[in-house]
Amino acid sequence: MSRDQNYENFEVRGEVPQARFGHTITLVNKTKAILFGGATGDTGKYSITGDTYSLDLLSKTFTRIEATGTSPTPRAAHASTAVDSLQMVIYGGATGGGSLASDDLFLLDIRNGERSATWMIVPVVGITPGRRYGHTLAFSKPNLIIFAGNTGSETINDVWTLNVERSPFAWAKVEVTTSPPARVYHSSALCSTGSASGMMVTFGGRAIDQSALNDSWGLRKHRDGRWDWVKAPYKASMTPTHRYQHTTLFIDSLMVVVGGRTNTVGESVPLEVYDTESSEWFRFNSVLRFRHTCIALDSALFVHGGFEHETPNVPTGKMLKIETSRLFKENTILAPKGKSSPKPEPRPLPPAPEEKKSTISVVSNTPDRGNPLQNIFINHLLRPTEWNTPANARFGFRREHIFALTEECENILKSQPMVLRLRAPIKIFGDIHGQYADLMRFFDLYGSPSEEKKAGGDLEGFDYLFLGDFVDRGSHSLETICLLMALKCKYPDHIHLIRGNHEDKWINNAFGLSDECQVRLGEDPNDPKSVFARINRMFEYLPLAAVIEDKVICLHGGIGSSLETVDQIDALPRPLEVIHEVSNDLQQLVVDILWSDPTDSDMEIGIQPNVIRDPNGTGNIVKFGPDRVKDFLAHNGLSLIIRAHECVMDGFERFAGGDLITVFSATDYCGRHKNAGAVLFFKKNLEIKPKLIYPVDNPYGSNWIETEESLKKRPPTPPRWRNTDNRKKSYE
């Protein structure tokens, strides 16, 4: 013990972090805390870190966390807070060299243990508080609150909140009539008991003129939605020390201020306590640290890192324990209150749209599957009865969120085979082509890929298979592909995606996706770091086929001239780039699977030229006759081929005496053909039932290729009835 027996060394073991300053330690449950970031070395030559550790206060053990997902960049002088048990968020900070961290909100989830920890960027729409350091972040349910800091050019005093019960998440700037002076390196803590309960209380900091502050302000929200600041009154008997780079915590209704420094170099800075009930300050000799961090467990405070006043240029790695019950025992006013205030029940971050009043939680311990990123995409996009985004509207998710979702989806695809083996019952969708309104209509009328039965979800009864061509032509390719990726990530064994000919950078660069990314994301699709490029890299890992119940093969185009066995597809390498100027058998096989069509009728057998898709007569894209279909099925022990790729007027069409079915899900293809769309219900007894939707007036825009001149350059493939004189109706 030292300094009047007021604190003691807290000896830790395990993977002990390097000495550092400007980091955070956040209590995420009763006995576990998370350390993130900070700077190591001395102030003349320091290194910014981005490492993460957990600390078990009972066993005194640090464990280094190697989390998956999108991790924050290394940073110091950032801010963090817990939002639920075993989960926390961080925002802002400095990255060194005068640069600041991004304005993303990062979430760490360790509910499944340190070995399964996950970082992610919380999807936020609209404006943000912007880049800053030396600010504070608190959670007063249901709001995250950011206050003040420095933008790199000025010290500020703005307040931003994010209501975690509204989706999509959005920051809102709080407008108040009276505000605390601008400051940086201050502290904020949430009071949970007494007259200040529910208030975020801010203390001290460094002002615009570099002077240290000693004022306290409480931020509260009224029932009518107004926010206001209240300056804390001080009794004249004692005023607190002006300080910055300190920490504050609440123990019961007592605000405890630990460490920091003043405008006088080397000045001893006491531990001070403010009683929010009596407005009195009390002073104690204790820890002398600054740029440290602090957490509380019951009546004990734990101080980690920072600089000691005796060595202000070299950070310490020591952890100290301050037992406030011992510290306050001689004080008749504080002693009865020197117990840790009960933490309020944390509010999870539910992403469900407010209008639906969903109870799905993004960062709670509810049984809802999936991680926060998946859930927010799904809850924002899977809204069959409410979706109404106009064409060309700014896409509601930031590039970073799409990157993280795409990476997660790609990792799942890598773990699955090139030919999926699936079971019935299952729904099979044909081309969607960015016609998101049609997809929502199918989900509204015939059930959606959700576990919410009351909302029309039928995922407990059906898997879902999508046969490619998710993008291009239609005006909402981003909604389509992002929802499908999110569903694939959340339900990897129930949502199945296979590749179409438009899941190809050479095709979707010309037929819509590229244009949409440029207009709706404001990016250059030619940039290798663009969303357009990242999604196309993911496309190269999509499977090319699925076999259902060992009887039915599903692929996008067909069997062409070269596909003889399912094993040929299984053997294809990934990542797989489609080569259109075919020079070997493997390239021809891929083109056959993605591009070939059945002949125009059962009367045309063998391999025929595909004049529509191959106007130059290269012979790479062909049509295959009913004899090829029957031979392929017999050779592989299969009974049926289901494919997409062609617009058919009734939404589905049979070929080869019923041994092949074409399904097409986009209605009124390119706004020209007035065709129906279909989804196939493949039942457990192998019965197939088509469900149809018909063209409707689309107020949200139909496609990116609307002018006659554009259609001449990029014409849609004509529906099969235009190529077939003696075609039988699909129901005959």
CA distances from 348 to 120, 218, 365, 555, 717 (A): 16, 24, 8, 41, 49
With cut-offs at 50, 70 and 90, classify the pLDDT of residue 100.
Answer: very high
Domains and CATH numbers, the chain: 7-328 (2.120.10.80), 399-713 (3.60.21.10)
Q: Please determine, for residue 570, whether its predicted confidence score (pLDDT) is greater than 90.
A: yes
- What is residue 576's three-state secondary structure? coil
Q: Which residue reads 């990476």 in tokens?
A: 407
Which strand (E) or helix (H) includes residue 127?
none
- What is residue 530's three-state secondary structure? coil
Write out pLDDT tens, residues 3-20: 445 788 999 999 999 999
Q: Which residue reads 């003889």 in tokens?
A: 564
Please calculate the CA angle 194-195-197 and round it to the nearest 5 degrees: 65
Write out pLDDT tens, residues 241-260: 999 999 999 998 999 999 99
User: What is the rounded CA–CA span in Å between residue 96 and residue 21?
Assistant: 13
Q: Please determine, for residue 26, whether its predicted confidence score (pLDDT) is greater than 80.
A: yes
Q: Please determine, for residue 88, whether its predicted confidence score (pLDDT) is greater than 70.
A: yes
- How many CB atoms neighbour CB 240 within 10 A? 21
CA distances from 485 to 407, 426, 459, 538 (A): 10, 18, 16, 10
- What are the structure tokens assigned to 663, written together? 């399904």
pLDDT at 705: 42
- Would you put residue 237 in left (φ > 0), alpha (ψ -120 to 50) or beta? alpha
Q: Please determine, for residue 452, whether its predicted confidence score (pLDDT) is greater than 80.
A: yes
Write out pLDDT tens, residues 479-536: 999 999 999 999 999 999 999 999 999 999 999 999 999 999 999 999 999 999 999 9
**Mean pLDDT of all residues in the chain?**
88
Report, as an integer, the average pLDDT of 392-421.
91
In this structure, are strands 622-624 and 607-609 parallel, antiparallel, or unpaired?
antiparallel
SS (H, E, C) 39-94: EEEECCEEEECCCEEEEECCCCEEEEECCEECCCCCCECCEEEEEECCEEEEECCE
- What is residue 311's three-state secondary structure? strand
User: What is the rounded CA–CA span in Å between residue 642 and residue 552?
Assistant: 7
Catalytic residue among 433, 502, 645, 673: 502
Whether pTM > 0.75 for this model: the answer is no
Examine the residue annotation and report whether 502 is marked as an active-site residue of this protein.
Answer: yes
Q: Please determine, for residue 201, whether its predicted confidence score (pLDDT) is greater than 80.
A: yes
pLDDT at 232: 95
pLDDT at 719: 61
With cut-offs at 50, 70 and 90, classify the pLDDT of residue 354.
Answer: very low
Identify which of 60, 182, 192, 203 has the alpha carbon closest to the alpha carbon of residue 132.
182
Handedness of CA 587, 660, 645, 605 (dihedral sign): positive
